[in-house]
Amino acid sequence: MKVDTTVINDKGTREALGKQVLLSVEDMDITYGKGAAAIRGISFTISPGEVLAIVGESGSGKTSIIRALLGCISGDGQIAKGTITFDGTDITALTNEEWRRYRGRSISMIFQDSGNALDQIMRIGKQMVEHISRLTGKDKEAAEEEARTLLARVALPSDVLHRYPFELSGGQRQRLGIAMAMTVTPKLLLADEPTSALDTTTQAQIVEELLRLAKDKGTAIIIVTHNMGVAVHMADKIMVMKEGRVVDYDRKNVIVTEPKSEYTKTLLAVVPSLYGKRYI
């Protein structure tokens, strides 16, 4: 089995990587129904502790790629071509049972509306304790302690444990979903517009928490965002998508200083006015 052990260096050429590549996607096409491939020729790699941002306008294919990595492309979508190698295994060939083992443990996901996936009429404490016990094997007391720690990490008070999801605001529910996704330290965390529903202060806090996860625990993070400012702030590598194709993919500093496509230049042009020079 071939695992890509190269990265794109600052000069835009591939070079051998000292550390192991965690995920390697090679020449992947995704089709929906019988039509031509909606997503074409996707190739990228990510190493432990690295943050990759996938940026692009609505419909450019970001969510399809994330879903392919989770084995759950929506509708009649499928991987028509290419390979996805995760931790040395070709995950395009997994059985449903094997997928279940991967999801939540090795690969975690934060959706745009993570909080809405919760049972709205079951107390949050009960849901968290069950979730933590199932993934970690901890007893009720230890799981409750862990639940408090996770809530603190996303700036939610521990009295949330006694409440129901429907009693929280949308932003609080999203933070709760993010806390649950952090229950185990996944090797790979996929985050699809994780902060778009949150106010600016909470967004910054969640971004810092995600970056800490990458730095301290070596979790590789793929963040999907339409916001180039967030990508430039967070990511080590940036992949820019347009109409189902990659138009730029490189280390952040290369994307910022020498973008290849006009589209990337357009996205970058609005960043300083929105976020100030400190992100560049």
Residue numbers of the site for ligand ATP (CB under 6 A)? Answer: 32, 38, 56, 58-64, 74-75, 77, 226
Least distance to ligand ATP from the beta carbon of 109, Å?
14
Closest separation in Å from C-beta 57 to ligand ATP: 7
Q: Which is nearer to ligand ATP, 89 or 112 (CB)?
A: 112
For ligand ATP, the closer of residues 78 and 253 by Cβ is: 78
Using the minimum distance from each CB to ligand ATP, give the nearer residue, 129 or 240: 240
- Output b/e per residue, 118-153; b: 16+ Cβ within 10 A: beeeebbbebbbebbbeeeebeeeebbebbbebbeb
Distance from C-alpha of 53 to C-alpha of 265, rounded to nearest angstrom: 16
Q: Least CB distance from residue 145 to ligand ATP, whole Å?
A: 37
Per the rule left: phi > 0, alpha: psi between -120 and 50, beta: everything else, 208 is: alpha
Tally of residues, the chain: 280
- DSSP state at residue 165: G
Q: How far is the CB of 246 from ligand ATP (least distance, A)?
A: 12
Give the H or E element holding residue 67. helix 62-69
Of 36 and 122, which CB lies nearer to ligand ATP in the complex structure? Answer: 36
Phi, psi of 75 (to 5 degrees): 55, -135
Separation CA 190–CA 193 (nearest Å): 10
Structure tokens at 22: 């965690």
What is the smallest separation between the CB atom of 9 and ligand ATP, expressed in angstroms? 28
Rounded to the nearest whole angstrom, what is the least distance from the CB of residue 111 to ligand ATP in the complex?
A: 11
Q: Find tokens 């996707």 and name the residue.
A: 42
Instruction: Give the DSSP letter of residue 49.
Output: T
Pick from 72, 53, 67: which is nearest to 195 by CA? 53
Taking the least distance from each CB to ligand ATP, the nearer of 70 and 155 is 70
Spell out the residues 6+ positions from residue 93 whose beta carbon is closer than 8 angstroms to its own: none
Task: Identify which of residues 179 and 191 has a Cβ nearer to ligand ATP in the complex.
Answer: 191
Interaxial angle between packed helices 200-217 and 170-181, expressed in degrees from 0 to 180 and rounded to the nearest 10: 0
Shortest gap between Cβ of 181 and ligand ATP (angstroms)?
19
- DSSP state letters, 244-256: TEEEEEEEHHHHH
Report in angstroms how near the CB of residue 268 gets to ligand ATP at its nearest: 18
Smaller CB separation from ligand ATP, 45 or 60:
60
